[in-house]
Structure 1
């Protein structure tokens, strides 16, 4: 069983996946900072500084000064604003990831097109082949 586990870990796909997860976690921090520190202030500018995260409804009908106070008091809270902000953040993050994937795909396509052009250029004959030259000589001798 230990040998089987070693074979599993040693596969390239597992290592690639581990690197992807680590890079993804770092990328998530960057995108979250982009959303929180750069995009949300722009949204706040257009919505008049409304903070959606403060919208809540207590299911038992009690009133509290804020969402944090209601949660601290142990009231059953339906945090509408937190959900709305999570949806907005998700849409922004999904759009940023879409743009990055689109950029990477364009770069890959350009690299593939460049490779294909190089292969075609290398495959194209520089001039007539030996057989073509010999056939021309033969035809010229037949005419002459």
Structure 2
């Protein structure tokens, strides 16, 4: 039982995913700090005055619960875009290259598909002669 567990943990895919997760969390912290301490002050300055950020006060002045903070949303959007770019270029692209060297295709374009006339399933492969769902013969 423990040997099977050890073999599962030592598979290359599990290790790649674990390392990718650790790297992604580290970059997440770095990017969060960048948006909090660089992007947010720039966005808040765009509002001018003594405003807490880029946005509008909907209720009583000074009540943060009714402050519509567009700057925080823009900052979160920038954070997301930077984080996804880092994940793609530092994790996905090298993983695709590694798997291509092993002869495997990952994150590729989906195979062409057609619709089954009997059950109307839309993801039947073009080369299939029978529908995988209803078993009807395809022309």
Give the TM-score normalised by structure 2.
Answer: 0.47
By percentage of residues, which structure has more strand? 2
* Structure of greater relative contact order (alpha carbons < 8 Å, 6+ residues apart): 1
By percentage of residues, which structure has more helix? 1
Give the greater-gyration-radius structure (CA): 1
